[in-house]
Amino acid sequence: MNLGIAIPTYNEATNIGQLLENIHLSLVNLPLISTTILVIDDNSPDGTAEIVKEFANKYNTKNFKIDLLARKIKNGLGRAYIEGFSNLLDQGSDFIIQMDADLSHDPVYLPAFIKLSGDNDLVVGSRYIPGGDTPDWPLSRRMLSKVGNFYARLILSNKISDYTGGYNMYSKDLLDKINYSKINSTGYGFLINLKYLSVLNAHGIQQIPIIFRDRQHGKSKLPKSTILTNLILVPKIRLKKLK
């Protein structure tokens, strides 16, 4: 199996090295897996790209490769994923896992994603099924996120429990089917739209529980208004599909 991992970055110099090392530890001994990690960097001024290159020189082998996609401008999470997915599919990835660079998504779960790939087009890392949690969040943020995801399930589909999380796996066939490159939602709205289209078209869907850790280094890139903005976006996504 050819596995691609797409990781968008902007000013993640304090985290990216540790993440790449942890991914390597989780996957290096898995048989029959060829992994390409693609870091999509938006011209980070803190030297993120240089660190990625250093780890590529350290770890690249026949079946484990770290690549850098250096974008000249910072133009959004959605476009970063679209360019990253296209790059990995062109390299022959059968499945693509998306994850954050801030160490919130623990690579220890990667083998669980891979185990479910055989019969499923979509595997969602969920904070909101038994075994999942957000232990670092204050109660107000937990409640806002849970209410937001409940609202998304109510409007879109209850087949998955976590629409706003960014730790998920998609098959090549599914990404081709949903025409992901045409999704024009920005920011975390892209994740919601991508998941909704995936739920509608996936041959098989599974969820795994994940413990989501808040970032320990660097500044949060999630504006306080993001969740509320996405609540407004949800019915627009549904209505667009119904047209």
- Reading the block at residue 16, the tokens are 């990216």
- Asked whether residue 129 carries a pLDDT value surpassing 90, the answer given is yes
Confidence label for 225 from pLDDT (cuts 50, 70 and 90): low
State how far the Cα of 77 lies from the Cα of 223, in Å rounded to an integer.
13
| E-state strands within the chain | 2-9, 34-41, 64-70, 95-98, 122-126, 168-171, 205-209
Residue 223 vs residues 9, 84, 188, 227, 235: alpha-carbon distances, Å: 16, 23, 11, 8, 21
pLDDT (tens digit per residue) in 94-111: 999 999 999 999 999 999
pLDDT (tens digit per residue) in 5-54: 999 999 999 999 999 999 999 998 888 899 999 999 999 999 999 999 99
Q: What is the pLDDT of residue 144?
A: 86
Please indicate, yes or no, whether the overall pTM of this predicted structure exceeds 0.85. yes
- Using DSSP's 3-state secondary structure scheme, residue 188 falls into helix
- Asked whether residue 227 carries a pLDDT value surpassing 80, the answer given is no
Q: What is the pLDDT of residue 113?
A: 97
Q: What is the pLDDT of residue 236?
A: 81
Instruction: Please answer whether residues 37 and 23 qualify as being in contact, where contact means their C-beta atoms are separated by less than 8 angstroms.
Output: yes
Domains of the chain: 2-242 (3.90.550.10)
- Asked whether residue 154 carries a pLDDT value surpassing 80, the answer given is yes
